[in-house]
Chains A and B, each alone.
Chain A
Amino acid sequence: MSWVTKTLSSTLGRKLIMALTGLFLILFLTGHVSGNLLLFKGDGGEAFNIYAKFMTTNPAVKLLSYLTYISIIGHVIYSIILSLKNKSARPVGYSVSKAGTNSSAASRNMGVLGTIILIFIVVHMQSFWAQMHWGSIPTVTYGGEEYKDLYSIVYAAFQVEWMVALYVIAMIFLGVHLSHGFASAFQTLGLNHKKYTPAIEGLGKLYCIVVPALFASMPLYIYFTQS
Chain B
Amino acid sequence: MKLTLKVWRQKNASDQGGFVTYPLDGISKDMSFLEMLDVLNEELAEKGEDPVHFDHDCREGICGMCSLYINGKPHGPQQTTTCQLHMRSFSDGDTITIEPWRAAAFPVVKDLVVNRSAFDRIIQAGGYVSVNTGGVPDANEIPIPKVIADEAFDAATCIGCGACVAACKNASAMLFTSAKISQLAMLPQGQVERKNRAEKMIAQMDAEGFGACTNTGACAAECPKGISLTNIARMNREYFSAVLSSDNV
Report which A residues bind B (CB closer than 8 A): 2-3, 6-7, 10-16, 82, 85-86, 88-99, 101-104, 107-108, 110, 180, 183-184, 187-193
**B147 within 8 A of partner (CB):** no
Minimum C-beta distance from A50 to chain B (A): 41
- On whether the beta carbons of A108 and B214 are closer than 8 Å, the reply is yes
Interface of A is mostly: helix
A sample of 10 inter-chain contacts (CB < 8 A) reads A11-B174, A11-B212, A86-B212, A91-B104, A107-B217, A108-B214, A187-B215, A190-B240, A192-B229, A192-B230
Minimum C-beta distance from B215 to chain A (A): 4
Of the residues B103, B203, B221, B248, contact of A10 by C-beta under 8 Å:
B203
Report which B residues bind A (CB closer than 8 A): 19, 69, 71-73, 97, 99, 102-105, 167, 169-172, 174, 202-203, 205-206, 209-218, 221-222, 229-230, 232-237, 239-240, 243, 248-249
- On whether the beta carbons of A86 and B211 are closer than 8 Å, the reply is yes
Q: Given A11-B202, A97-B72, A191-B233, are A90 and B102 also a contact pair (CB < 8 Å)?
A: yes
Beyond A99-B218, A102-B73: 19 further Cβ-contacts under 8 Å?
A14-B212, A15-B212, A16-B236, A86-B169, A86-B171, A86-B214, A89-B172, A90-B102, A93-B102, A94-B99, A96-B72, A98-B73, A101-B221, A102-B167, A102-B216, A107-B216, A108-B214, A187-B229, A187-B233
Residues of B within 8 A of A82 (CB): 212
Minimum C-beta distance from B228 to chain A (A): 9
- On whether the beta carbons of A86 and B233 are closer than 8 Å, the reply is no
Minimum C-beta distance from B18 to chain A (A): 10
Residues of A within 8 A of B205 (CB): 11
A197 vs B214: C-alpha distance in the bound complex, in angstroms? Answer: 17
- On whether the beta carbons of B99 and A95 are closer than 8 Å, the reply is yes
Residues of A within 8 A of B19 (CB): 95
Q: Given A10-B203, A94-B99, A96-B71, are A89 and B104 also a contact pair (CB < 8 Å)?
A: yes
Of the residues A14, A93, A94, A190, contact of B236 by C-beta under 8 Å:
A190
- On whether the beta carbons of B221 and A89 are closer than 8 Å, the reply is no
- On whether the beta carbons of B170 and A86 are closer than 8 Å, the reply is yes
- On whether the beta carbons of A90 and B104 are closer than 8 Å, the reply is yes
A209 vs B228: C-alpha distance in the bound complex, in angstroms? Answer: 27
Residues of A within 8 A of B206 (CB): 10-11
- On whether the beta carbons of A12 and B239 are closer than 8 Å, the reply is yes
Minimum C-beta distance from A220 to chain B (A): 32
Residues of A within 8 A of B170 (CB): 85-86, 89-90
- On whether the beta carbons of A90 and B103 are closer than 8 Å, the reply is yes
A90 vs B167: C-alpha distance in the bound complex, in angstroms? Answer: 11
Minimum C-beta distance from B208 to chain A (A): 9
- On whether the beta carbons of B211 and A85 are closer than 8 Å, the reply is yes
Residues of A within 8 A of B222 (CB): 102
Residues of B within 8 A of A11 (CB): 172, 174, 202, 205-206, 210-213
Q: Which 6 A-B pairs have the closest CB atoms?
A: A192-B233, A89-B211, A190-B237, A98-B72, A86-B170, A102-B221
Of the residues A13, A85, A102, A110, contact of B217 by C-beta under 8 Å:
A102
Residues of A within 8 A of B172 (CB): 11, 86, 89
- On whether the beta carbons of A108 and B248 are closer than 8 Å, the reply is no
Of the residues A103, A191, A193, contact of B216 by C-beta under 8 Å:
A103
A3 vs B248: C-alpha distance in the bound complex, in angstroms? Answer: 7
A13 vs B213: C-alpha distance in the bound complex, in angstroms? Answer: 11
A103 vs B170: C-alpha distance in the bound complex, in angstroms? Answer: 13
Residues of A within 8 A of B169 (CB): 86, 90, 99, 103, 108
- On whether the beta carbons of B71 and A98 are closer than 8 Å, the reply is yes
Closest chain B residue, CB of each to CB of A89: B211
Closest chain A residue, CB of each to CB of B221: A102
A13 vs B202: C-alpha distance in the bound complex, in angstroms? Answer: 11
Most-contacted residue by chain A among B72, B203, B222 (CB, 10 A): B72
Residues of A within 8 A of B171 (CB): 86, 89-90
- On whether the beta carbons of A189 and B236 are closer than 8 Å, the reply is yes
Minimum C-beta distance from A25 to chain B (A): 17
